[in-house]
Structure 1
Amino acid sequence: MESNHALADNDEFANRPARQPDYASESAGLVRLAAAQMGPRANLLQEIADVALSVCNAGSAGISLVEGTGDSRHFRWLAVAGRCADLRGKTTAWDECPCAMTLEARTPQLFIRPQDEFPCLRFLGVDVAEGIVVPIPTTDTPLWAIWVMSDEEGRQFDLEDVRLLSNLAVFAGAALTVVDARDSGIENDQRHNEFIAMLGHELRHPMAPIGSAVGAAARLCADNAKAVEVLPSHDGS
């Protein structure tokens, strides 16, 4: 089937007037995201989706993550805002989702009436006029995508939306890297502390019978000076 999507470098966006940037709103959104990095990863993802919804004046927005490998690859909607917020946690097959085309192209993509081509986007009561999907740069192989959808026929995205969403994608990639590294460090510290506690517990208990055995041997060999000399003292020295 021929794809029904338009790329940002063709005539589709060129024919649309781009609105003036609202740098104050954009800056306020970035401040929110900077603060969200201090909290749990899930909250950060949701905050990114909320900001995308706001700055792009979209009907819905979200972040999708690739899960699985090979033929079992699929996308999970880890954060969703707007009309489709109840679909948080939804999964879509790799070859049935516009996010796959975006990650393979590694460039922002505009999808016009995506529900005609992607059945997974046919939601009850939501008519998706168009959507933008942008890959989130986190690794050599992109695993994340951020997206916005319009459910109003008169709301068309423009190059300003592409710029905003692309900037959010870069921020999201950097923030996820920092948060994942932080959480990994905390987990490693917890595992280290648990290991030390377990080791201390295991070492304490075997030493008791060993100490008793040394004491008994010392008593049995009390009249053998050489044997007593090679045995450790009963007090552990």
Structure 2
Amino acid sequence: MKSPIAIRRGAVAAVFIDLQEEHRQDQRYLVDGYEKILANVQRLQAAARASGVPLHHWAYIVDLGAQDRPFHPVEADGKSAFSDKDDPLTAICHEVAPADGEALRIKAEASAFRSGPAAGELKARGIEWLVVAGVWTEACIDATVRDAVASGFRVLLVKDACGSGSAAMHQTAILNLANRLYGGAVTDTDGACRLLSGESVTVWQVEGSVPLRFTYENAARLYAEL
């Protein structure tokens, strides 16, 4: 269902997940429509900074020498097939990189909140809402959102500031999250920027049990209607 919400100043933080160069330069790991996603993220970041909303950035880095991953895909030289610690393409894209005073956290797993102090630190600062954007939707975004909800945060999922390897992968991942986004909401970049600036905005919120019964035929339409 759609209903109006507003987010209290001082109770919101913006979270940006894995917006790294490999997703536009590494042919094995390209994100569909990545330039548009980065442009939307830029708008979100500008809105957050203008309203004094704290920004938190994460990058996914694989260090097989320090992590126990027996089934992880590797190249012939033994390095990770993606996001290897020595690959310069793991750098955050310059146009959405942390500004002065904004920390970049490194994570070694899909979720930003599965381990480490981030969730507790945000809670201690009185954060109730997390505005979430980044890639890949069905992987690191999904894991981060689910752990954030389990930790007691309300998540504002910005659907057109997230992405994956294809439109179908992204759209069905958003629909799956929307079906169980208890306490949170789904909107687009326009709506998120308005909420960050203190406006009331009509957004999609889950009601009942798994209301979005999508099929191959109607998934794109349901996604567009969120």
Indicate the TM-score class for this superposition, using the shorter chain for normalisation: under 0.3
* Structure that is richer in helix per residue: 1
Q: Is the radius of gyration larger for structure 1 or structure 2?
A: 1
Q: TM-score, normalised by structure 1?
A: 0.27
Q: TM-score, normalised by structure 2?
A: 0.28
